């Protein structure tokens, strides 16, 4: 009850910010981002677009990858109309396609640009069951696996940039508190819903699984970056509940009524972007890694979300799924993978 009251009134936490803080407010003391190059996925609308606008206002060079180049160009135009000096690069990327991710990284590397900041923000809620071209359930493929590969392939560039510039690199994974809704065996369920005509598919549970994967990815990646003694951190954020395109895709009487009844709990888009902007830029978070943030303050995760064994297990499974030249075939009865060597 007390936490709900704090949320409703926007009471500031230990960071000095709270649920009512905006992206602009939390970046006022970031010292300017003119030396920062940032990649932000899902920046054509909603929270991602506001995050991009705020970072551009603070001086960061932005790379905006998107499936729709027109949508990305429109987002770029909106930012430049407010900040004419903003440097923004638009690139094509379909996160549900591992081949598209590899092509994006290859093209980005050809620019010989530094990379200080990676914000894995893009999200999808698939109401109908679909399988990606790589044989993975579409929500999981877009929200998690594409970002896993993107981060993996860009890590070297981030480590090199941090070493050369002395500026700590930061990776921000945008999750959701809905991850708490998932229970059960992560790999087994993914195997079940990654089959055609899956009877086990439930849109909300699949979305929760993908958001749990973001949390577990953060935990495991933080440990690996520490072991490598890199100057790169990774943290995870819950932006809060906001009516963006992700939710508008399911408009109707029931949805409209639910949003009306919970309207006092909804954030504005500038408020929803605050936690991402805070974790991406605030000087007080130097060397902070592997943490989960909500309302611009560190928060605890669930037992499953903080399970190191589960995080390592997901990492292993993810590496198999993105393995070049082979297709991971799930066996949901044993929660293991076989290789389809005919794909090599």
CB burial of residue 102 (10 Å; 0-12, 13-18, 19+): middle
161-to-116, 165, 168, 250 alpha-carbon distances in Å: 7, 6, 9, 41
Tokens describing residue 302: 């669930």
150 φ/ψ angles, rounded to the nearest 5 degrees: -55, -45
What pLDDT is recorded for position 243? 62
CA separation for the pair 82, 139 (Å, rounded): 33
pLDDT reported for residue 244: 53
Is 126:139 a contact under the CB 8 Å cutoff?
Answer: yes
Q: Element (H or E) spanning 187, and its range? A: helix 186-193
Helix, strand, coil shares of the chain, percent, nearest 5, are: 50, 15, 40
Q: Which residues contact 200 (CB under 8 A, 6 or more apart)?
A: 189, 192, 193
Q: What is the pLDDT of residue 12?
A: 84
| Cα-only R_g, the chain | 19
- pLDDT, position 1: 46
- Distance from chain centroid for Cα 99: 19
Give the number of other Cβ atoms within 10 Å of residue 121's Cβ: 24
Out of 207, 278, 292, 339, the active site residue is: 207
- Which residue is it, tokens 């089959």? 195
- Catalytic-residue membership of 278: no
pLDDT in tens, the chain (344 residues): 445 555 455 678 999 999 999 999 999 989 899 999 999 999 999 999 999 999 999 999 999 999 999 999 999 999 999 999 999 999 999 999 999 999 999 999 999 999 999 999 999 999 999 999 999 999 999 999 999 999 999 999 999 999 999 999 999 999 999 999 999 999 999 999 998 877 889 999 999 999 999 999 999 999 999 999 999 999 999 999 886 554 444 544 544 544 444 555 799 999 999 999 999 999 999 999 999 999 999 999 999 999 999 999 999 999 999 985 445 544 444 445 554 423 33
Tokens of 54: 């705020």
Nearest one of 219, 182, 195, 172 to 26, comparing CA atoms: 172
d(C-alpha 118, C-alpha 95), whole Å: 14
Q: Report the distance separating Cα 258 and Cα 194, nearest Å.
A: 30
pLDDT of residue 330: 46
Burial class of residue 232, CB neighbours in 10 A (0-12, 13-18, 19+):
buried
- Specify whether the CB–CB gap between 215 and 175 falls below 8 A: yes
Give phi and psi for 91, each to the nearest 5. Answer: -140, 155
Task: Check the CA dihedral 110-56-249-200 and report its sign.
Answer: positive
Q: What is the pLDDT of residue 182?
A: 95
Q: Report the DSSP pairing between strands 117-120 and 336-340.
A: unpaired
């Amino acid at each position: 009850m007390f936490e709900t009251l704090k949320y409703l009134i926007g009471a500031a936490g230990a960071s000095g910010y709270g649920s009512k803080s905006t992206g602009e407010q939390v970046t006022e003391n970031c010292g300017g981002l003119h030396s920062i190059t940032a990649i932000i996925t899902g920046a054509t609308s909603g929270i991602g677009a506001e995050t991009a606008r705020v970072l551009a206002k603070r001086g960061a060079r932005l790379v905006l990858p998107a499936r729709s180049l027109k949508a990305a160009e429109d987002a770029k135009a909106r930012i430049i109309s407010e900040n004419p000096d903003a440097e923004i690069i638009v690139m094509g990327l379909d996160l549900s396609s591992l081949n598209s991710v590899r092509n994006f990284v290859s093209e980005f590397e050809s620019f010989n640009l530094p990379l200080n900041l990676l914000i894995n923000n893009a999200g999808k809620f698939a109401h109908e069951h679909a399988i990606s071209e790589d044989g993975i359930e579409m929500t999981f493929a877009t929200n998690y696996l594409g970002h896993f590969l993107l981060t993996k392939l860009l890590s070297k560039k981030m480590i090199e940039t941090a070493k050369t510039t002395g500026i700590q690199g930061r990776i921000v994974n945008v999750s959701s508190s809905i991850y708490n809704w998932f229970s059960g065996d992560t790999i087994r369920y993914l195997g079940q819903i990654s089959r055609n005509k899956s009877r086990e598919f439930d849109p909300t549970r699949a979305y929760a699984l993908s958001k749990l994967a973001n949390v577990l990815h953060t935990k495991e990646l933080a440990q690996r970056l520490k072991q490598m003694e890199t100057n790169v951190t990774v943290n995870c954020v819950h932006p809060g509940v906001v009516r963006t395109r992700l939710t508008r895709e399911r408009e109707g009487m029931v949805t409209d009524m639910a949003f009306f009844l919970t309207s006092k709990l909804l954030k504005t888009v500038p408020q929803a972007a605050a936690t991402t902007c805070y974790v991406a830029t605030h000087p007080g978070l130097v060397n902070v890694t592997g943490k989960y943030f909500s309302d611009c303050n560190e928060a605890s995760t669930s037992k499953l979300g903080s399970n190191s064994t589960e995080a390592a297990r997901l990492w292993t499974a993810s590496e198999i799924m993105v393995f070049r030249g082979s297709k991971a075939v799930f066996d949901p009865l044993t929660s293991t993978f076989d290789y389809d060597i005919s794909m090599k």
